[in-house]
């Protein structure tokens, strides 16, 4: 294989995207429950 | 107070807290424990001793944050007393009386605490039903938590006896059972007390706390719209469900109601919006993830496709280079292709074929044996392996290793080839391996598989030749040449006929048949014909001394060179022929061409040296000068040492050394 081919670009972009999405999902798994808890506390103490 | 005097050594009565249908309640001080307690004097008329013991036994066994702890149960002639921990604070009934306005968040929190206590009671074995949940039986401690008190009508689940009721809080089913019990009537069979009875009472209590108005009776349907004005929709829905007349429509357990209360904040619009937003973000991320997975998968398949295309292009290059005779470029393409996809056989096959086409049969066999058959990355069971084995088998045949060739042909057959030509060549090999009968059988199989007529003649010719019947063989080859339109086969037939004439010792017939071949085979198939024709012409010239054969040889060699098929030996042979003709100048020009085409090679300088000797011999003794000869010799000798490891192997070089020695001895060199 020589040079940067469309297949290589697609694979690299896909892999980077997968990694990004997985990191994003991981962040949401940590951050979202905290957001919900915080809001619930705020609602309860109103 | 007379009964209480019995305990004066242990308890000191502080004050009377209240008096009700169940009895009189005193606040007291436990002298030994030094803590405030509540002593409840049970009215004799209220229940039997057994009933009172039941309440105490229930409470004694319970331990929960939102329930009081019973310390003692005392019985005298004057009455029965229960001692329990003092719960400071005010009851919800007192708070209502004081006009306290219960906020929805307080109702939720305390409602959950009530449900928690009830869940504990209901989970006892047997389950305990409180049966008297109402504002006056719920204390609010200074800490802000509730305490569920007064179990004087508590009820073990399964026991159909009901001890009492409180209008406005009692569930319809408990009310029916209590009335039936009071009037001595039979309790209807479908009416029963269970956890849901307490759920109703919790609902009625919360309703009262929220609205400040208690339900007038168990038959009154709660006004949820009215309630919503105080609590908001979510809490009103929960209370409304708890207040359903039909127990089947209420929460089925205190835990269920606890969860419903707990989830009320989650029904807040802001919370719902946050949830939707979070769900949307996650959905987008998941969709993107799916998209990227698809993209990555497509990319990988695209890389494979690109790789395969590049591989196929390289193989096509290999085929093209083989056709052009550019074998170096072919090998380069093979290396690239086999590095690109090491598990694909095709480039290996083409490289083996290139070696075969170059008549490098030993290398072809080694390549098949070591680079292909011992290559773990290759699938050796694929059909294409038949073609690979064929190359090896035919290479063995050409090297006259007939037994090995026959064994390899068996591999070809084992791979299940459909090529009739492979059977034909197998038959020829068998004949050369002195297996005539087997050869005939295989040839017949080739014919059965549709072997063409020309191939049949060719095979028969080879078989006859192998069986040492040259005349019969010649006849078969003549037939083959007559009918075939396959130039390669025609060439092979001519060449084999040449070999037969050579074996018969008839070089003129060989020359004739090669001349005929030169006329009848196309240019691209002529290389072997021309090489053999030049060789036989040289032999004839040397043996007969007739110069026309040498002239023909020179003309044929020049044709090979003009076609671009020449090798070092072609030019060297041509130089020798010119030399033998006495045309030293043309011989030198040919040697110049050797130097130009093949660079520094001892053989070129050796040729120059021989030509120089011949050139000097044509001169008179006085004009001879061997200086140039000595320079050529010295250069050839130096290169010979560098280029040939076993530098005694070239007879011509030995001869040149002898000549050089004679020249020195003759005093021609200083």
Residue B525 lies in a domain: yes
- Our CA-based measurement puts residue A38 at a distance from the nearest CA of chain B, in whole angstroms, of 10
B177 and B31 within one domain: no
Largest separation between any pair of C-alpha atoms in chain A: 65
B190 and B149 within one domain: yes
Residue B587 lies in a domain: yes
Query: Which pLDDT score is estimated for B181?
Result: 73
Full DSSP string of B439-474: HHHHHHHHHHTT--HHHHHHHHHHHHHHTT-HHHHH
CB–CB contact B292 A17 (8 Å) = yes
Last residue of a domain, one of B246, B267, B288: B267
Full DSSP string of B126-161: S-EE----SGGGEEE-TTS-EEE---TT-EETT---
Q: Domain containing B30 — which CATH number? A: 3.30.200.20
Q: Please name which of B416, B415, B441, B135 lies closest in space to residue B426, comparing C-alpha atoms.
A: B441
Query: Which pLDDT score is estimated for B185?
Result: 72
B287 touches chain A (CB under 8 A): no
B120 and B251 within one domain: yes
B128 and B67 within one domain: no
Full DSSP string of B255-289: HHHHHHHHTTGGGSHHHHHHHHHHHHHHHHHHHHH
Kindly identify which residue of chain A lies nearest to residue B311, measuring between CA atoms: A1
B215 and B123 within one domain: yes
B77 and B130 within one domain: no
B587 and B555 within one domain: no
B561 and B585 within one domain: no
Q: Please name which of B486, B512, B488, B484 lies closest in space to residue B498, comparing C-alpha atoms.
A: B512
ipTM of predicted assembly, 2 dp? 0.95
In this complex, which of B268, B270, B306 lies closest to A7 when CB atoms are compared?
Answer: B306
Query: At B8, which helix (H) or strand (E)?
Result: none
Residue B200 lies in a domain: yes
Q: Which residues of A touch B296 (CB under 8 A)?
A: 10-11, 13-15, 17-18
In this complex, which of B270, B282, B340 lies closest to A43 when CB atoms are compared?
Answer: B270
CB–CB contact B295 A13 (8 Å) = yes
For B341, phi then psi, to 5°, come to -130, 90
Query: Which pLDDT score is estimated for B77?
Result: 73
Query: Which pLDDT score is estimated for B452?
Result: 92
Q: How far is residue B208's CA from residue B121's CA, in Å, rounded to a whole number?
A: 23
Q: Please report the number of interchain residue pairs, chain A to chain B, with beta-carbon separation below 8 angstroms.
A: 98
Residue B443 lies in a domain: no
Q: How far is residue B208's CA from residue B92's CA, in Å, rounded to a whole number?
A: 10
B74 and B24 within one domain: yes
Q: How far is residue B118's CA from residue B3's CA, in Å, rounded to a whole number?
A: 34
- Our CA-based measurement puts residue A3 at a distance from the nearest CA of chain B, in whole angstroms, of 12
CB atoms closer than 10 angstroms to residue A22: 13
The answer to whether the Cα torsion of B450, B452, B458, B461 is positive or negative is positive
Kindly identify which residue of chain A lies nearest to residue B291, measuring between CA atoms: A14
Q: Domain containing B205 — which CATH number? A: 1.10.510.10
B271 touches chain A (CB under 8 A): yes
A4 touches chain B (CB under 8 A): no
CB–CB contact A36 B271 (8 Å) = yes
Query: Which pLDDT score is estimated for B45?
Result: 47
Residue B589 lies in a domain: yes
Residue B188 lies in a domain: yes
B132 and B261 within one domain: yes
Query: Which pLDDT score is estimated for A32?
Result: 96
B102 and B75 within one domain: no
- Our CA-based measurement puts residue B104 at a distance from the nearest CA of chain A, in whole angstroms, of 10
> Which portions of chain B are predicted below pLDDT 50?
1, 45-46, 157-160, 162
In this complex, which of A18, A43, A46 lies closest to B296 when CB atoms are compared?
Answer: A18
Last residue of a domain, one of B235, B267, B299: B267
Residue to test with chain B: of A20, A24, A27, A35, most B Cβ within 10 A: A24
Q: Which residues of A touch B303 (CB under 8 A)?
A: 1, 5, 7-8, 11
Last residue of a domain, one of B530, B565, B600: B565
- The domain of B606 spans 580-670
């Amino acid at each position: 294989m020589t040079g940067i081919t469309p297949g290589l670009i697609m694979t690299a972009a896909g892999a980077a995207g997968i990694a990004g999405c997985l990191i994003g999902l991981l962040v949401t798994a940590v951050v979202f429950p905290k957001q919900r808890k915080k809001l619930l506390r705020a609602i309860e103490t109103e | 107070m007379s009964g209480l005097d019995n305990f004066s050594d242990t308890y000191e009565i502080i004050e009377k807290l209240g008096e009700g249908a169940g009895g009189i309640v005193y606040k007291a001080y436990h002298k030994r424990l030094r803590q405030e307690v509540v002593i409840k004097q049970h009215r004799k008329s209220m229940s039997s001793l057994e009933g009172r013991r039941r309440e105490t036994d229930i409470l004694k066994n319970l331990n929960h944050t939102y329930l009081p702890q019973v310390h003692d149960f005392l019985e005298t002639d004057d009455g029965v007393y229960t001692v329990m921990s003092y719960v400071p604070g005010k009851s919800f009934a007192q708070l209502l009386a004081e006009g306290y306005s219960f906020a929805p968040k307080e109702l939720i929190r305390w409602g959950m605490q009530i449900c928690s206590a009830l869940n504990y009671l209901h989970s006892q074995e047997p389950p305990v039903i409180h049966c008297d949940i109402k504002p006056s039986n719920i204390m609010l401690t200074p800490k802000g938590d509730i305490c569920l008190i007064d179990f004087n009508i508590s009820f073990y689940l399964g026991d159909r006896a009901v001890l009492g009721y409180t209008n406005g809080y009692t569930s319809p089913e408990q009310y029916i059972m209590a009335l039936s019990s009071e009037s001595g009537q039979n309790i209807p069979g479908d009416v029963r007390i269970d956890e849901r009875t307490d759920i109703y009472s919790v609902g009625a209590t919360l309703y009262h706390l929220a609205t400040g108005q208690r339900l007038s009776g168990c038959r009154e349907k709660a006004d949820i719209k009215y309630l919503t004005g105080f609590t908001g929709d979510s809490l009103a829905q929960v209370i409304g469900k708890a207040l359903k007349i039909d127990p089947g429509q209420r929460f089925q357990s205190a835990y269920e109601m606890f969860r419903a209360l707990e989830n009320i904040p989650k029904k807040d619009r802001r919370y719902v919006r946050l949830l939707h937003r979070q769900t949307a973000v996650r959905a987008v991320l998941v969709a993107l993830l799916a998209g990227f997975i698809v993209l990555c998968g497509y990319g990988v398949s695209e890389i494979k496709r690109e790789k395969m295309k590049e591989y196929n292009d390289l193989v096509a290059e290999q085929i093209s280079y083989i056709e052009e005779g550019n074998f170096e470029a072919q090998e380069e393409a093979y290396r690239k292709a086999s590095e690109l996809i090491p598990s694909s056989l095709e480039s290996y096959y083409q490289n083996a074929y290139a070696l075969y086409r170059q008549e490098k049969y030993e290398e072809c066999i080694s390549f098949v044996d070591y680079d292909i058959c011992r290559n773990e990355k290759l699938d050796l069971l694929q059909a294409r392996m038949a073609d690979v084995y064929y190359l090896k088998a035919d290479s063995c045949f050409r090297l006259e290793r007939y037994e090995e060739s026959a064994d390899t042909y068996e591999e070809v057959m084992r791979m299940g080839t459909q090529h009739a030509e492979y059977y034909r060549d197998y038959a020829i090999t068998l004949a050369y391996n002195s297996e005539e009968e087997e050869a005939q059988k295989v040839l017949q199989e080739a014919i059965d598989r549709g072997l063409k007529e020309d191939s049949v003649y060719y095979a028969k010719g080879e078989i006859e030749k192998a069986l040492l019947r040259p005349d019969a063989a010649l006849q078969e080859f003549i037939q083959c040449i007559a009918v075939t339109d396959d130039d390669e086969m025609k060439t092979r037939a001519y060449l084999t006929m040449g070999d037969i004439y050579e074996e018969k010792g008839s070089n003129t017939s060989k020359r004739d048949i090669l001349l005929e071949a030169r006329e009848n085979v196309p240019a691209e198939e002529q290389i072997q014909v021309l090489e053999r024709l030049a060789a036989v012409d040289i032999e004839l010239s040397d043996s007969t001394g007739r110069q026309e054969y040498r002239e023909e040889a020179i003309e044929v060699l020049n044709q090979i060179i003009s076609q671009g098929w020449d090798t070092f030996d072609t030019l060297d042979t041509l130089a020798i022929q010119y030399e033998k003709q006495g045309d030293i100048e043309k011989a030198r020009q040919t040697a110049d061409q050797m130097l130009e085409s093949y660079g520094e090679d001892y053989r070129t300088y050796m040729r120059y040296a021989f030509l120089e000797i011949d050139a000097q011999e044509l001169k008179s003794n006085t004009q001879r000068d061997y200086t140039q000869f000595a320079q050529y010799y010295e250069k050839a000798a130096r290169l010979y040492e560098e280029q040939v490891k076993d530098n005694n192997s070239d007879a011509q070089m030995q001869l040149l050394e002898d000549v050089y020695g004679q020249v020195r001895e003759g005093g021609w060199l200083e």
